[in-house]
Amino acid sequence: MTEASVVPERIDTPQEARAAISARGAAVAQGLHTEEDALAFAAEVLGDKRIRLGRQFEASMRNHQREAAVVDAQPVDERGRKRSFGKPGERMTAHNDGFAFGDYAPDHLFLWCKRPAESGGDSFLVDAWKLTELLAADPATADLAEFCRTVDIDHSEPNFAQSTYAPIVRVVPSGRVQARYHPYLAPVPGSTRPADADMLARWNDTVLHVRDTGPMFRAEAGEMICVDNYRLLHGRDGYTDPARELYSIWGWTTDAVAVPVQQLDIVEPDLAGLTG
Ligand SMILES: [Fe+2]
């Protein structure tokens, strides 16, 4: 299953980045030493298909502590799910960015490294679409791939309901593939299919296994990891260096299922008003 892990190649131009993202889901750009440079490069990667692009958040110890405290104070939902941003010292759960926003999640993600941690904080990428292809090819796991492709589930975060349900893997109207994972995936509320919860637990274990057995890589200062956020999951290893600074930039193109009219708030991911 570790064939689903992705170590992105280093590229020089936005055109090379676009080709690598299309072929393998990710690429690493170099020599971007200001946020303006990073945003300009990302804009060129999206090209004529760009609809919306902007900084989403600063991943630093300082910012994490502030936002995590708000999330920690949010209640457990009626199904026993509790939101958590985790701790910087722990390996992050694999996820697509913006998962709380369902159809409004960005189809592209750019992780710009202003300053890496002295040690730790390495990145990992998992091609979740390829992972389901690998599951389908093995008779022992083909049922899990079938579940991922055909059964609607609830992609919401605790207390922030989404208006639609969808399978884990789908081909969206633009033709792009989307394959999703985050730690709160749940059966559709009121589901009378107990097997769904078991399948979700297996998907969870499979993603965790790939995360923990696949390779990781390091982004240096001035590097930007460019990601197909529909197809790949990402995350980073634990770190303790308070000087680490990484910025996440979200991009929506004409390929996206839906595009919000305002910046999204991951601390309070309320979907009301996103359509303007
Ligand atoms: Fe993320």
Distance 174 CA to ligand 1 centre (A): 23
In a domain, 276, yes or no: no
Domain hosting 60: range is: 2-253
pLDDT tier, 66 (very low <50, low <70, confident <90, very high otherwise)? confident
Question: Residue 193 C-alpha to ligand 1 middle, in angstroms?
Answer: 31
Quote the CA–CA distance of 127 and 12 in Å, as a whole number. 22
Return the closest-CA partner of residue 219 out of 38, 20, 90.
38
**Cβ distance 72 to 84 under 8 Å?**
yes
Query: What residues contact residue 195 under an 8 Å CB cut-off, 6+ apart?
Result: none
Residue 76: DSSP 8-state: P
The b-or-e profile of 176-215 (16+ CB within 10 A means b, else e) is bbbbbbbbbbbbeeebeeeebeebbeebbebbeebbeebe
C-alpha 241 – ligand 1 centre gap (Å): 18
Cα 119 from chain centre:
23
Say if 144 falls within a structural domain: yes
| CA of 29 relative to ligand 1 center, distance in Å | 18
The three-state secondary structure class of 211 is helix
Contacts of 200 by beta carbon, 8 Å cutoff, 6+ apart: 153, 185, 186, 187
- Residue 61 is assigned to a structural domain of this protein: yes
Count of Cβ atoms closer than 10 Å to residue 130 Cβ: 20
Between the CA of 235 and the centroid of ligand 1 the distance, in Å, is 6
Separation in Å, CA 74 to CA 85, 158, 207, 274: 12, 9, 26, 21
Between the CA of 275 and the centroid of ligand 1 the distance, in Å, is: 23
Give the count of domains, the chain. Answer: 1
Residue 276: predicted pLDDT: 52
Q: How far is the CA of 140 from the centre of ligand 1 (A)?
A: 31
- C-alpha span between 249 and 177 (Å, rounded): 21
pLDDT at 271: 76
Query: Residue 190: inside a domain, yes or no?
Result: yes
- Mean residue pLDDT of the chain comes to 94
Residue 65 banded pLDDT, cuts 50, 70, 90? confident
Query: Tens of pLDDT along 157-193?
Result: 988 888 899 999 999 999 999 999 999 999 999 888 8
Q: Tell me: the pLDDT tens digits for 82-115?
A: 988 888 999 999 999 999 999 999 999 999 999 9
Look at 178 and 59; give whichever has higher pLDDT: 178
Measured in Å, residue 198 CA sits from the centre of ligand 1 at 26
CA of 49 to the centre of ligand 1 (A): 23
Q: Which residue has the tokens 């892990």?
A: 5
Measured in Å, residue 153 CA sits from the centre of ligand 1 at 21
Q: Which two tokens stand for residue 183?
A: 């730690």
Minimal CA–CA distance to 13: which of 29, 34, 25?
29
Specify the pLDDT at position 273. 63
Instruction: Classify residue 63: in a domain, yes or no.
Output: yes
Segment 205-216 shows an average pLDDT of 98
CA of 163 to the centre of ligand 1 (A): 23
Residue 265 lies in a domain: no
In the reported structure, the alpha carbon of residue 256 is separated from the centroid of ligand 1 by a whole-number distance in angstroms of 18
Under the banding of pLDDT at 50, 70 and 90, the label for residue 252 is very high
State in Å: Cα 192 to ligand 1 middle.
Answer: 32
Distance (angstroms) between ligand 1 centre and the Cα of 134 equals 24
pLDDT score, position 38: 97
Q: Determine the pLDDT at residue 275.
A: 61
Q: Predicted confidence band at 49 (pLDDT cuts at 50, 70, 90)?
A: very high
Residue 62 pLDDT grade (very low, low, confident, very high; cuts 50, 70, 90): confident
CATH code assigned at 179: 3.60.130.10
**Residue 139 C-alpha to ligand 1 middle, in angstroms?**
32
Does any domain span residue 261?
no
Start-to-end CA span in the chain (Å): 42
How far is the centre of ligand 1, averaged over its atoms, from the C-alpha of 226 (Å)? 12
Q: What is the reported pLDDT for 162?
A: 87
Q: What is the pLDDT of residue 262?
A: 84
What integer pLDDT is reported at residue 3 of this predicted model?
95
Task: Report how far ligand 1's centroid is from the alpha carbon of 223 (Å).
Answer: 16
Q: Is residue 271 part of a domain?
A: no
Return the pLDDT at 64: 84
